[in-house]
């Protein structure tokens, strides 16, 4: 396993990180335990979760993923071997079962953190993340930006100041070590950095956004910020909901697969994404990689990526994901991937 500094923090995270959002829905507690055992044995030290997991976000399973991880810590006593990351949910129409409608103010963030600490059975979170913005912004693949005329710049910045001061207090209290943002925009990340500097408070050390062969929008704006401001990307959906593994190729519907179980997840299933995926599969076969290995290694080898967050529902998938670290891509292969991308640029933003 490779290890990388997480932004300007003191944390060294594994280049492959363990995503957990299927535990409690597609995976049982026993399966989650097995995944954590296997991941840790292979040198994976970053476990990423969220208070709203598993997905899809539903009231009857909400928080279950954190509980599974907490139970594993309680039974195995390996908390000191794991860099633990979780997230606080922001407002959203499908989130009313969380804190009666989550907000990103001091009261709600305090309740969110205390709940996560209890479920995770730990005294401190290594990386606490804001799961998505509270303001009007484009994330989760949304296009066609709409101006909210009721939301002033002053209100927006005051909201971010409240988040920053609250997170700073969490750090001073020893309840979190560092914080990061997620599903954030270039404006949002730079505003966090500016306000933190103005307030004399710690800046975010990471950003967790989607990044894959089907969605390289992070390279426009955010990659430069990560480089110049020393922020680490925790890349999520590197396999584009499994599309880039090839298991949905030619309209296949494998049993118990995410897009089979939850067909409303259509972010990566458009026609252009399918055509691009077919070409990526051909390229992988040409150069002796599995489609999964190629897609993951493309993400992992990017200089702005601190950790590539993989999610799996089987141990076989997890092992292939982790072992992708040992499958470098040649310059010739990378050139071919660029040609495919130029033909189908960002087919699933």
Which sequence positions are flagged as catalytic? 53
Whether residue 107 has a cis bond before it, omega within 30° of 0: no
Q: How far apart are the C-alpha atoms of 55 and 45, rounded to whole Å?
A: 23
Name the packing angle between helices 29-41 and 64-76 (round to 10°). Answer: 60
- Provide the β-strand partners of residue 232: 206
Whether residue 227 has a cis bond before it, omega within 30° of 0: no
Closest Cα partner for 62 from 107, 17, 92?
92
Closest Cα partner for 133 from 205, 203, 196, 186?
186
275: tokens are 């055509």
CB 88 within 8 A of CB 170: no
Name the packing angle between helices 186-199 and 222-229 (round to 10°). Answer: 30
Q: How far apart are the C-alpha atoms of 226 and 180, rounded to whole Å?
A: 12
For tokens 């594994």, the residue is 14
- Dihedral sign for Cα atoms in the order 333, 220, 231, 17: negative
170: tokens are 């969490």
């Amino acid at each position: 396993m490779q290890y990388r500094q997480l932004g300007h923090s003191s944390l060294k995270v594994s280049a492959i990180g363990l995503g957990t959002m299927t535990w409690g829905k597609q995976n049982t507690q026993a399966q989650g335990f097995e995944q954590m055992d296997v991941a840790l044995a292979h040198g994976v030290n970053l476990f990423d979760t969220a208070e709203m997991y598993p997905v899809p976000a539903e009231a009857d399973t909400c928080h279950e993923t954190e509980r599974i991880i907490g139970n594993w810590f309680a039974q195995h006593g390996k908390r000191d071997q794991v860099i633990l990351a979780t997230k606080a949910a922001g407002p959203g129409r499908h989130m009313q079962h969380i804190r009666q409608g989550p907000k990103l103010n001091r009261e709600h963030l305090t309740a969110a953190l205390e709940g996560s600490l209890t479920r995770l059975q730990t005294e401190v979170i290594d990386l606490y993340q804001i799961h998505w913005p509270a303001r009007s912004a484009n994330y989760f693949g949304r296009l066609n930006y709409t101006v909210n005329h009721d939301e002033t710049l002053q209100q927006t910045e005051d909201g971010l100041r409240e988040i920053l001061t609250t997170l700073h207090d969490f750090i001073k209290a020893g309840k979190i070590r560092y914080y990061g943002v997620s599903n954030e925009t270039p404006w949002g990340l730079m505003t966090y950095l500016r306000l933190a500097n103005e307030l004399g408070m710690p800046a975010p050390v990471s950003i967790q956004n989607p990044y894959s062969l089907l969605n390289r929008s992070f390279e426009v704006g955010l990659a430069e910020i990560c480089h110049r401001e020393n922020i680490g990307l925790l890349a999520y959906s590197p396999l584009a909901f499994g599309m880039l593994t090839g298991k949905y190729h030619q309209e296949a519907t494998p049993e118990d697969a995410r897009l089979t179980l939850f067909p409303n997840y259509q972010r990566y299933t458009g026609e252009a994404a399918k055509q691009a995926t077919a070409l990526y599969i051909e390229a992988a076969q040409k150069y002796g990689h599995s489609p999964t290995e190629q897609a993951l290694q493309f993400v992992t080898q990017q200089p702005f990526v601190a950790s590539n967050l993989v999610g799996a529902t089987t141990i076989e998938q997890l092992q292939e994901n982790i072992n992708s670290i040992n499958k470098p891509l040649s310059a010739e292969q990378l050139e071919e991937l660029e040609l495919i991308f130029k033909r189908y640029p960002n087919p699933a933003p």
